[in-house]
Amino acid sequence: MCEKESDQRNKEADEAWADYQRTGQFVSNEAMTAWLDTWGTDRERLEPLLLEALEESSAQEFTPDFFERLRERARQVIKAKESKMP
* pLDDT (tens digit per residue) in 37-86: 888 888 877 777 666 666 666 555 666 777 777 778 777 877 887 787 66
pLDDT on residue 73: 78
Q: Has residue 2 got a pLDDT over 80?
A: yes
Query: In the chain, which ranges are continuous DSSP H helix?
Result: 3-23, 29-36, 48-56, 64-84
Contact 47, 73 (CB under 8 A): yes
pLDDT on residue 57: 62
Q: What are phi and psi of 77, to 5 degrees?
A: -65, -45
